[in-house]
Amino acid sequence: MESGARLCHRVEEDLTEFLSRGGRLDPIDPAITADPPKPENSNESSTI
């Protein structure tokens, strides 16, 4: 668990440095997902 705490601390330090150099974080619309929906009529699902 200690390594997780160190990683969290490192991310926090990196983020603080990024923001102090003028970086910014933009909010992401909740409707955006990492896995886009698949097309309903896809030829990939049909067998030969």
Alpha carbon distance 30, 17 (integer Å): 27
Domain span at residue 18 reads 1-25
Residue 38 has pLDDT above 90, yes or no: no
Alpha carbon distance 6, 32 (integer Å): 30
In a domain, 44, yes or no: no
Tens-place pLDDT, residues 5-23: 999 999 999 999 999 999 9
Q: What are phi and psi of 24, to 5 degrees?
A: -140, 155
In a domain, 33, yes or no: no
Query: What DSSP string describes 4-44?
Result: HHHHHHHHHHHHHHHHHTT-------TT--SSPPPPSS-GG
- The residue-averaged pLDDT of 36-42 equals 72
In a domain, 14, yes or no: yes
In a domain, 1, yes or no: yes
In a domain, 46, yes or no: no
Number of domains in the chain: 1
More confident residue, 33 or 3: 3
Taking the whole predicted model, whether its pTM rises above 0.75 is answered as: no
Give the model's confidence band at 1: pLDDT under 50 very low, under 70 low, under 90 confident, else very high.
Answer: low
In a domain, 13, yes or no: yes
State both tokens at 23.
């970086």
